[in-house]
């Protein structure tokens, strides 16, 4: 039995004797964040939030379980152990989405047994971020989020290319502030297929800052014609500027020519025009990738190893590999 009736529970025990509750999809804390156990984002407030408590010692009938969300005097949910749930391996409690408010949540369970013995789970201290970084896009009809702005160095802006001497100096990008910019936002720069990340510090909030593309990273793609460079923001709650398929999720693409004097075959390209895979248009069909068979690099009987690196909504990479003979020019 579960109820939303708010019941005073008194002051919680000072020390916990049980492990923390479980919440699905918590964004893990970033390196260096010693204040939190993770964060909740916009996806967590699209519906009521389920909190799980694992079974604990000395569970008897009429044991009361209270879910505390910041205020120990006002539980957000509770349940009483009944015969039908006495043997459960876990117990489910709920937080109304309207109660999940910025900027912090301390979450734990208090347990009152009929004997008078009490227990407390280890509190989870969570950051709560309901807003999206870089939202709203000032011009959603344009290609790319117009609120995500960065500048290439003047020589590359003017059309110069990156040769070996230029690569040895690295490339400095000037990053401009964005809407809802906060500490712990992560600025992601896609330098071709390479992702470079920078976590925003307190001194950088609402100010411009620089990101450095090192010579080592540049040399990972020594020959890249018309290489795309773009910017994205992920905040501490795992929020991005827009939905995954929205063109407002990334900045407008800029182009850089990289030629370190090491000739490579032409890069593979999508069957359809452009560089975007529209999942709604693709449907259940496979994505066709085409490769130009250049006689300067390929011979009959060569084997082509093709790797596809994608990233999901959480920016977690996933991979696909295929091998195919050189007589074919399409890969699915």
Q: Which residue has the higher pLDDT, 210 or 247?
A: 210
Report pLDDT digits (tens) over 35-86: 999 999 999 999 999 999 999 999 999 999 999 999 999 999 999 999 999 9
**Residue 299, C-beta contacts closer than 8 angstroms, at least 6 positions apart:** 326
Whole-number pLDDT of residue 74: 96
Distance (Å, whole) CA 167 – CA 323: 32
Task: Give mean pLDDT, residues 228-252.
Answer: 94
Domains along the chain? 2-128 (2.60.40.2470), 131-264 (2.60.40.10), 265-332 (no CATH)
Residue 249 or 298, more confident? 249
Cα-to-chain-centroid distance, residue 85: 36
Q: Which of the listed ranges 6-15, 162-171, 238-247 does the model predict with the highest average pLDDT?
A: 162-171
Rounded Cα–Cα distance for residues 214 and 185 (Å):
21
- Band the pLDDT of 279: cuts 50, 70, 90: confident
Is beta strand 38-40 parallel, antiparallel or unpaired with respect to 124-128? parallel
Taking CA 143 as the corner, what is the angle to CA 137 and CA 144, rounded to the nearest 5 degrees? 50
Question: Has residue 312 got a pLDDT over 80?
Answer: no
pLDDT score recorded for residue 331: 44
């Amino acid at each position: 039995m579960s109820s939303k009736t708010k019941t005073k529970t008194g002051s919680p025990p000072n020390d916990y004797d049980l492990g923390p509750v479980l919440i699905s999809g918590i964004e893990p804390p970033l390196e260096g964040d010693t204040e939190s156990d993770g964060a909740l984002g916009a996806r967590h407030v699209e519906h009521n939030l389920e909190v799980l408590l694992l079974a604990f010692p000395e569970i008897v009938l009429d044991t009361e379980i209270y879910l505390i969300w910041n205020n120990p005097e006002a539980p957000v949910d509770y349940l009483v152990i009944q015969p039908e749930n006495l043997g459960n391996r876990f117990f489910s409690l709920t937080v109304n989405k309207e109660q999940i408010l910025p900027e912090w949540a301390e979450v734990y369970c208090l347990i009152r047994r009929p004997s008078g013995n009490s227990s407390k789970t280890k509190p989870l201290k969570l950051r709560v971020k309901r807003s999206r970084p870089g939202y709203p896009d000032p011009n959603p009809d344009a290609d790319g989020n117009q609120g995500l702005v960065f500048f290439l160095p003047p020589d590359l802006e003017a059309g110069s290319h990156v040769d070996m001497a230029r690569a040895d100096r690295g490339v400095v990008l000037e990053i401009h502030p964005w809407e809802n910019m906060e500490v712990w936002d992560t600025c992601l720069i896609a330098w071709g297929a390479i992702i470079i990340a920078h976590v925003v510090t307190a001194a950088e909030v609402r100010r411009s800052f620089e990101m450095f593309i090192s010579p080592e990273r540049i040399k990972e793609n020594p020959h890249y014609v018309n290489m795309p460079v773009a910017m994205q923001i992920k905040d501490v709650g795992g929020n991005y500027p827009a939905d995954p398929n929205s063109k407002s999720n990334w900045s407008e693409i800029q182009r850089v020519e990289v030629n370190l004097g090491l000739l490579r075959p032409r890069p593979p390209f999508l069957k359809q025009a452009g560089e975007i895979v529209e999942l709604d248009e693709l449907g259940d069909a496979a994505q066709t990738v085409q490769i130009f068979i250049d006689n300067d690099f390929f011979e009959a009987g060569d084997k082509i190893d093709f790797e596809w690196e994608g990233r999901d909504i959480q920016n977690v990479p996933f991979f696909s590999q295929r091998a195919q003979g050189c007589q074919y020019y399409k890969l699915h």
